[in-house]
Chains A and B, each alone.
Chain A
Amino acid sequence: ILNVEQSPQSLHVQEGDSTNFTCSFPSSNFYALHWYRWETAKSPEALFVMTLNGDEKKKGRISATLNTKEGYSYLYIKGSQPEDSATYLCAFVQLGNQFYFGTGTSLTVIP
């Protein structure tokens, strides 16, 4: 069974705080790592697709890094806003295009 772990499971931060969370995945047969943002009652939305070790991607106040050798990715949110409240899912894509999702990190930003 292939394990993709996300931590923490949930967190609450004050508006304006910066935060980060982790996705851990197997370091073998790596093809890609995806991050999705999932707001309640909406569809998961792709944030980043990362394929190269050392990749860093940024979209506004959100950024992500990738370490394929040790099997982890960090997602950072700078200056959290209430609209950032969502569940953040990562998906490890194995060679052969099989996707394995983590259980997500639920972020609540308190105004």
Chain B
Amino acid sequence: DAGVTQSPTHLIKTRGQQVTLRCSPKSGHDTVSWYQQALGQGPQFIFQYYEEEERQRGNFPDRFSGHQFPNYSSELNVNALLLGDSALYLCASSLLRDRGSQAYGYTFGSGTRLTVV
């Protein structure tokens, strides 16, 4: 049973560019959450997708946007990249019906390391 897969694992972008990160949730999960972990900090909640809609959003600017597809996979898009966007981006999946993330914990991917130069 595959867990959460994220791609790419690493990438380097230039300031001002746009980037798309991808996530496939664990089989059977229907909800995808995205987190940003900057150096020395804990993961910060970006947003959560369920039924192809954004359910919740953390304190991130509109440059951060996302999408969820009918197969539950998700993308995180960041426009007009800033040096401060350099971080590890984690995707986490859960099953909303069972209030999965609260009852059983998230299933995380191993992240995409984004470096903005």
Q: List residues of chain A with CB under 8 Å of any chain B CB.
A: 4, 31-32, 34, 36, 41-49, 51, 89, 93, 96-104
Contacts and interface: CB of A to CB of B under 8 A. Distances in A.
B1 to A, nearest CB: 14
Given A36-B105, A43-B109, A89-B42, 12 more contacts: A4-B42, A41-B110, A43-B4, A43-B107, A46-B104, A48-B105, A49-B105, A97-B101, A98-B56, A101-B44, A103-B40, A104-B42
A32 B102 contact: yes
B92 to A, nearest CB: 8
Contacts of B3: 43
Interface in B62-117: 90, 99, 101-111
Given A101-B42, A104-B42, A44 B102 contact: no
Secondary structure at chain A's binding surface: helix, strand, loop or mixed? strand
User: Interface extent on B, as a size class?
Assistant: 20 to 34
Nearest to B103: A49
Secondary structure at chain B's binding surface: helix, strand, loop or mixed? loop
Contact of A31 (B45, B102, B104): B102
A4 B90 CA distance: 19
A97 B102 contact: yes
Interface in B35-68: 35, 40-45, 56, 58
A45 B108 CA distance: 7
A103 B42 contact: yes
A49 B40 contact: no
Nearest to A89: B42
Contacts of A41: 110
Contacts of A47: 105
Contacts of A104: 42
A99 B42 CA distance: 11
B45 to A, nearest CB: 6
A44 B90 contact: yes
B105 A34 contact: yes
Interface centre among A34, A42, A44, A102 (most CB of B within 10 A): A44
Interface centre among B35, B43, B107 (most CB of A within 10 A): B43
